[in-house]
Chains A and B, each alone.
Chain A
Amino acid sequence: MWNEFIIFPFTNVLLWIYDAIGHNFGIAIILFTILIRAITWPLNAQQLKSTKVMQDLQQDKEWQAIQKKYAKDREKLAQEQMRVYKERGINPFASCLPTLIQFPIIIGLYQSIIHALAATPLGLLQLARSIYPFMNAAQLIPLNSKFLWMDLGRPEGIAFPAGFSIPFLPNGFPTLAIIVAATTYLQTKATMPPSGSSPGGQGAAMNSMMSVYMPLLLGYFALNFASGLAVYFVASNVLGIVQYASMGRVNWRNLLPGGGQPSPAPGKKT
């Protein structure tokens, strides 16, 4: 079922885009990313809305009173928090949903990239059988996996000079992995909601951890998996910043040391 509902449709959309733009798989991945971002934008917008509600809640007097009163009673604190959520119709997990949705997409996209680039006889046979009848499969295969300096079916790396090697970097200097980590950091920081009235509190700690955790995680993926996935990451990160900026939700001050001020209301300059 995963193949029929995720891998095959993703693969065919990628191939359709690839064929339409003149057989450039890297550009096809980028355009596919734009398509996915457009489709999931309503979820992202909902996430922004939920995040804003949660931010406002941090400033609420009743909420702050609860935090103070039950600071040493975790169970009671949790109960009171849930009561407030329920009374005000707030879903505390709503802001997580876009993140959760992204992971099956990432997995599906990675597998469809590997599926489309078919490096083995069995892989090629499976690809041939997954291409929808209206596609001109015979002319599409094999896919052109070259994009810029990369082979999209293999981890990216720029070869070290002859005689020089680093044991944990068998593919060479990981340029794309660094770009992935950097853009992930930029997106995470620039779109991070303010940590509320207590910059040293749990929210700030969470934000700080995510701004380190996510770039390292995605950089690791980019280092070890096919570079087509890394192209997706970079495109998705850049698009994410653009989308948030278009809504006036980007907080560039977060990128500066000591940043973390609330983002301005839409339409107001920083």
Chain B
Amino acid sequence: MKRLTLVSLVVLLAFLISACGTGASTESWPGLAADSSQVYLASGQFVYAVRLSDGSKVWQYPDKAGPQLFYSPPVLTPDGQLLVGSSGTDYGLTSLDPATGQTKWAAPFVARNHWVAPPLVEGETIFAANNDGALYGLELATGRMLWHLPLGGSLWGAPATNGKLVFVASLDHHLYAVDPSKQALAWKLDLGGSAPGTVSVSHDGSTVYAGSFGKKVFGVDAAGGSVRWTTDVKDWVWGAPVLASDSVYTADIGGHIYSLGAPNGKNAWPDILPDGPITGSPLALADGMLVATESGTVFAYDSTGSKLWDTVIGGKVYTAPIAAGDRIAVAPTGTDFLLAALDQNGKLLWKFTGK
């Protein structure tokens, strides 16, 4: 019996030890959306609506923690819905009322894996990219699945479109272009490494910009998938390259930021390292850009690469800040608040703790 007791204690210890380990349980991967009066934050097991003026909570979804887990930013649709995809065991894609947080519909189909990529809404169709490697076409009003197209790998970046084709990057190293009218693949391009971020499309729809773990940023012809230019960067590109005027702003997880010329990919800036790894996309400003680093600091630069200001938020910032009215919303993790708002000069206005 002593040996059995000893083995039982070891088994119990095994369970306890297995509950420890990588230390990721207290950190999440929050996502943001905003309209003129509210910021919507998907973080951990909840989606929150927060008043822009003072950071007070308007509602949260669900009321109590359940199987949902949110890694995907919420998306506001033109017809007044807030779409949220869950990475929890439910694999749910849900439409909420932005004013009240009440459920409008929950996707009446079963995706085979969780949602990391936010959906794209174009016309009456939702283009939703799933971790199972498929792009789903859903009816905007009801969430009913119209079609789905297996592409490959895991799709973590939001789809983008030029009105004709839908573009989505995959962890399997490819950029896929889908013709939604035919529900078929138009072309695909090897990016030399995983691409967890969203891609960007030029204003005229002719060029797609994508970064990858291959330490490269690409300018790709949208119609045929041929590479117009490739720029080597110093480290893995996680977030989406962001187009502003004729510059493509991007950052890498080594902490370097770049301003690449949209026509040719040439870096117009010297080697700039704000202060830590950058996984979120830059935010384009009226003149320049803004990034948040894993060190918990937000930096703003003008179009020449000169720093305008920096503000220490705290915690770790993995995801992209967004513009919310005349404010900037940033969602850190690993700290005692979930959301912070800054003004255009970097002054901290309020923090939201989730309560």
Contacts and interface: CB of A to CB of B under 8 A. Distances in A.
Interface of A: 2-3, 7, 96, 99-100, 103-104, 106-107, 110-111, 115, 119-126, 128, 137-139, 141-142, 202, 206, 209-210, 213, 217
B10 A138 contact: no
Interface string B11-54: 10110011011111001110000000000000000000000000
B194 A141 contact: yes
B209 interface: no
Interface string B185-229: 000000011101000000000000000011100000000000000
B171 A121 contact: no
Interface string B232-252: 000010100000000000000
7 contacts: A106-B14, A107-B14, A111-B18, A121-B116, A138-B213, A141-B194, A210-B4
Contact of A125 (B7, B116, B215, B279): B279
Query: What's the dominant secondary structure at chain A's contact region?
Result: helix
A120 B22 contact: no
B196 A138 contact: no
Nearest to B69: A120
A121 B71 CA distance: 8
Interface of B: 1, 3-4, 6-7, 10-11, 13-14, 17-18, 20-24, 27-29, 71, 87, 114, 116, 131, 153-154, 156, 171-172, 192-194, 196, 213-215, 236, 238, 253, 279, 318
A100 B10 contact: yes
Contacts of A142: 153-154, 171-172, 194
B96 to A, nearest CB: 22
B214 A138 contact: yes
A96 to B, nearest CB: 6
Contacts of A202: 1
A7 B21 CA distance: 8
A3 B21 CA distance: 7
Nearest to B294: A125
B284 to A, nearest CB: 22
